Structure 1
């Protein structure tokens, strides 16, 4: 049910699968959700700019059923710290959209949560 999408104009490391796996474990830990439900998608998109510049940047989406509004500031810090460590991104060039998905709008395995 948690989904983390990371779209960046920075080339992903050769170990992009490892990056996704590390992010998956972190999201599960941060949200207190089973990792078996976490999905992570990292994509390289060279056609991105922010503040009129194509310097390294990222747009992220973190969605989950029951995403606590009170955690978004901490989640932003943690995700920005991770992206800085993993991809060298300046946290000031990262946008994150948080979304709390209602159970009936999140489907899997032919049903909804």
Structure 2
């Protein structure tokens, strides 16, 4: 049930992007103790993005999940930043991450909510 949505203006092949997303998905599932079978990723590449007046590439990523403990967010922040930085060749200072703990009754799969 975790969802990782990544938006970047970096120029990356679909094959390389799929590899990065797969690595990020495994990382998230390991830290959150969630099954990989329910992890979903989404990628928007070559997006028009700004961050101040920086001309270098950027990444914005959102991780949504049912149950997102604070100590997990700290670890995820560091590890996802490293993974996204390496995979998309983007400086960590140009990466924003947002984490959202979604209540069970607000997340549905297969026509039913989890709560």
Same fold by TM-score greater than 0.5: yes
Matching residue of 1:107: 108
Residue deviations 1:55-112 (CA, integer Å, cap 9, x gap): 1111110111010022222211000100121111111111111100000000110001
| Paired residues for 1:67-82 under 5 Å | 67-82=68-83
Matching residue of 1:90: 91
- Are residues 1:36 and 2:17 paired? no
Q: CA deviation at 1:30?
A: 1.9
Residue deviations 1:33-59 (CA, integer Å, cap 9, x gap): 000110011211431011222411111
Aligned 8 A contact 1:5 1:60 in 2: yes
Matching residue of 1:65: 66
Alignment gaps of 5+ in structure 2: none
Matching residue of 1:25: 26
Aligned 8 A contact 1:48 1:54 in 2: no
- Equivalences, count: 113
Alignment gaps of 5+ in structure 1: none
DSSP 3-state at the match of 1:92: helix
Taking the aligned partners of 2:14 and 2:100, their CA distance within structure 1 comes to 30
- Are residues 1:50 and 2:58 paired? no
